Amino acid sequence: MNHAAIRSQFPLLNRQQEEQDYPLCYLDSAATAQKPASVLQAMDDFYRQHNANVHRGAYQLSAAATAAVEASRDKVQRFIHAAHRQEVIFSHGTTESLNMLAYGLEPQLQVGDLILVDSAAHHANIVPWQQLAQRTRAHVQPLPLNDELCLDDAAFNALLAKRPKIVALGHVSNVLGTVNDIAALTQRIRAAGAISVVDGAQAIAHLPVDVQALGCDFYAFSGHKMYGPTGVGILWGKLAQLDKLAPMLTGGEMIKHVSFSGTTFGALPHRLEAGTPPIAEIIGLAAAIDFLIQFAHAQSHQYEQQLLQQLRDGLAAMPEVELYAAHANNVGALAFNIRGEHHHDVGALLDQQGIAIRCGHHCAMPLMSLMALNGCCRVSLGIYNNEQDVARFLAALQQTIALLTEDT
């Protein structure tokens, strides 16, 4: 891989930090990844040359826009190895996809049903299930973690024995970078008769995703985590499961027939895609997939893992740093704190040196509570990062530690 050539495709990485004489070192790709020029160009080209609404115009411009959106659906289908193109539902992101599920599954729940949720989940994979439980008088129970902050296997089996209705997991933790073995877990979930839901937002840019091999019932992810635009995401589901979902949004595009005596809904995928979709963003997502598939996945993954190991080794060598769940098989992210210092102070001092990382609870307050933390620092990697980025971060963190501890 020519890493310099890859990095050169990301215009924003060439900028200087405002008010500081430092080049930008962007280490917050778990929050949102930067966009290559090909994605920006695809969206700009649509608005300048092809802008029209889809699925409803009899003129050539609309037909071309419709063809572009449906070609993007086919591209997503191939990218995640879905069995049918109708299984690919466009949303505005992982959060909307999971809310669509929590709403759409409501008719299938009864009073007292059990919903199991990963304790390391992002709020987007917790709160919708809590709201669903309130509406149906079901019950949400967290899946415990072990001392290494991974799913506790014995507790998982014990809770599956309670015959849950839904089990919601994260593929990769957005805080820790820990990876759940989804294929193995979904086998057990299916044997227990439950519906499996996977938040793949943090996995999609780092791991190969084959939804058929994973065996889950639903998988959700966002475009902006995988070098695409914000405002677009995917809800994938097995065809039979999607067909049972009640649509969360109703109105234009998703209907077969409307009269004041009643309405019948159309077929998948449009039944779950009410209204005008994010057309330019869907086209940008297709361009992001084109960008990603040009690289040998094994090679890019190996390089990212080398950078992650460089980060682990550098942080572990600093006695002032407390690392959290820094396992060898993590992907994408590492979480840490400087002992005795507030994570926001660390982030602010790093920013003054041109280093962009994330500090806070990372939309994972239950996980923070389990870790007895009010927040932490997170450094996360993208395909554009290199050894110089990691070295700059580690040097800046040493300087930050010196500044914070100079009076102690």
Task: Pick 40-293's CATH classification: 3.40.309.10, 3.40.640.10, 3.30.420.40, 3.30.70.360.
Answer: 3.40.640.10
Whether 271 contacts 254, CB under 8 Å: yes
CB count within 10 Å of CB 52 equals 17
Looking at this protein, which amino acid is placed at residue 46?
Answer: F
Residue 126 has a pLDDT of 98
- State how far the Cα of 174 lies from the Cα of 362, in Å rounded to an integer: 8
Whether 78 contacts 211, CB under 8 Å: no
Local confidence band at 216 (pLDDT 50, 70, 90 cut-offs): very high
Q: What is the pLDDT of residues 284-300, one digit of tens each?
A: 999 999 999 998 888 88
Q: What is the pLDDT of residues 75-106, one digit of tens each?
A: 999 999 999 999 999 999 999 999 999 999 99
pLDDT above 80 (res 34): yes
Residue 2 has a pLDDT of 81
State phi, psi for 401 to the nearest 5 degrees.
-60, -45
Local confidence band at 19 (pLDDT 50, 70, 90 cut-offs): low
Q: Which of 201, 279, 275 is nearest to 29 (CA)?
A: 201
- State how far the Cα of 255 lies from the Cα of 278, in Å rounded to an integer: 19
Q: Which numeric CATH code is attached to 3-30+296-405? A: 3.90.1150.10
pLDDT above 70 (res 408): no
Give the residue carrying structure tokens 């660390």: 346
- Per the annotation, the verdict on 363 as an active-site residue is yes
- State how far the Cα of 101 lies from the Cα of 371, in Å rounded to an integer: 29
Q: What is the pLDDT of residues 126-178, one digit of tens each?
A: 999 999 999 999 999 999 999 999 999 999 999 999 999 999 999 999 999 99
Arithmetic mean of pLDDT over the chain: 95
DSSP string, 30-73: TT-----HHHHHHHHHIIIII---SSS--SHHHHHHHHHHHHHH
Q: What is the pLDDT of residues 178-188, one digit of tens each?
A: 999 999 999 99
Local confidence band at 327 (pLDDT 50, 70, 90 cut-offs): very high
Give the residue carrying structure tokens 């019932």: 217
Structure pTM? 0.96
pLDDT above 90 (res 107): yes
- Sign of the four-CA dihedral 235, 241, 242, 245: negative
Q: Where exactly are the structural domains of the chain?
A: 3-30+296-405, 40-293
pLDDT above 70 (res 17): no
Distance between start and end Cα atoms, the chain: 46
DSSP string, 86-137: GGEEEESSHHHHHHHHHHHTGGG--TT-EEEEETT--GGGTHHHHHHHHHHT
pLDDT above 80 (res 70): yes
Residue 252 has a pLDDT of 87
Looking at this protein, which amino acid is placed at residue 85?
Answer: R
Angle between the 127-136 and 94-104 helix axes, to the nearest 10 degrees? 20
In this prediction, residues 323-350 reach a mean pLDDT of 96
Which of 216, 359, 363, 376 is catalytic? The answer is 363
Within 8 A by CB and 6+ apart from 311, the residues are: 334, 379, 381, 390, 393, 394
Whether 230 contacts 31, CB under 8 Å: no
Q: Which of 315, 403, 363, 243 is nearest to 27 (CA)?
A: 315
Q: Which of 173, 151, 124 is nearest to 376 (CA)?
A: 173
- State how far the Cα of 221 lies from the Cα of 271, in Å rounded to an integer: 19
Local confidence band at 278 (pLDDT 50, 70, 90 cut-offs): very high
Residue 14 has a pLDDT of 82
Within 8 A by CB and 6+ apart from 19, the residues are: none
Q: How many Cα atoms sit within 13 Å of 212 on the Cβ side?
A: 10
